[in-house]
């Protein structure tokens, strides 16, 4: 299911980086960081999940994914809003890849074993900014829960 997203990440990694906009992987990491921080707490499980997802879906090393995650944390600290990151993701993905991005965000939200209402709100907000339909938003949520084998 993540094959198209992986393909996009790999092709975008080969492109030169703009001074104003983050590269795709960093923008994706920044959105994940926003979800991680939405509940006002940073759990180590969520940090590890971000690095793991970046490694799995971009084909980079664990060390590189941790570095990108840490850079994304700094960028999110300085950002006024999400639009800088959302714009990059929207520009480089199609409908199916954006649904996969929402699934990745759900995986981060569920990484600590529980879903905080603030995390859910933030995933919903990003889904709207990525033009992901509500049915796909819910489907991505259910898929992420199933992947992590979470129960109600």
Q: For 63-111, write each residue's pLDDT tens digit.
A: 999 999 999 999 999 988 899 999 999 999 999 999 999 999 999 999 9
Provide the domain limits for residue 43: 3-13+21-147
The 8 Å CB, 24+ separation contacts for 45-48 are 45/111, 45/112, 45/113, 46/108, 46/111, 46/112, 48/111
In a domain, 116, yes or no: yes
In a domain, 77, yes or no: yes
pLDDT of residue 21: 77
In a domain, 108, yes or no: yes
pTM: 0.85
Confidence of residue 150 (pLDDT cuts 50, 70, 90): confident
CATH number for 138: 1.10.3680.10
Which phi and psi (to 5°) does residue 131 adopt? 60, 40
pLDDT of residue 152: 59
- Say if residues 108 and 36 touch (Cβ distance below 8 Å): yes
pLDDT of residue 13: 64
The 8 Å CB, 24+ separation contacts for 141-148 are 141/106, 143/103, 143/106, 144/103, 144/106, 144/107, 144/109, 144/110, 145/106, 145/110, 147/107, 148/107, 148/110, 148/111
Give the chain's domain count: 1
Residue 16 confidence (pLDDT) above 60? no
CA dist list (Å): 74 to 43, 82, 95 = 17, 14, 28
- In the chain, pLDDT over 70 holds for what percent of residues? 91
Question: Up-side HSE of residue 100: CA atoms within 13 Å toward CB?
Answer: 21
In a domain, 152, yes or no: no
Residue corresponding to tokens 């996009």: 8
Across all residues in the chain, what is the average pLDDT? 89
pLDDT of residue 1: 61
In a domain, 124, yes or no: yes
Confidence of residue 135 (pLDDT cuts 50, 70, 90): very high
In a domain, 56, yes or no: yes
In a domain, 29, yes or no: yes
Residue 59 confidence (pLDDT) above 90? no
- Cβ–Cβ contacts within 10 Å for residue 98, how many? 24
């Amino acid at each position: 299911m993540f094959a198209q997203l992986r393909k996009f990440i790999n092709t975008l990694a080969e492109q030169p980086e703009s001074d104003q906009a983050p590269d795709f992987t960093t923008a994706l990491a920044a959105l994940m960081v926003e979800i991680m921080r939405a509940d006002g707490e940073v759990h180590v499980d969520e940090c590890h999940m971000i690095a793991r997802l970046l490694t799995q879906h971009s084909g980079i090393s664990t060390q590189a994914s941790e570095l990108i995650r840490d850079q994304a944390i700094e960028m999110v600290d300085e950002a006024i809003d999400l639009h800088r990151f959302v714009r990059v993701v929207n520009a480089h993905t199609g409908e199916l890849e954006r649904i996969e991005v929402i699934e990745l965000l759900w995986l981060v939200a569920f990484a600590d074993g529980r879903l905080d209402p603030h995390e859910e709100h933030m995933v919903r907000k990003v889904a709207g900014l990525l033009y992901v339909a509500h049915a796909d938003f819910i489907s991505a949520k259910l898929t992420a829960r199933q992947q992590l084998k979470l129960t109600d």
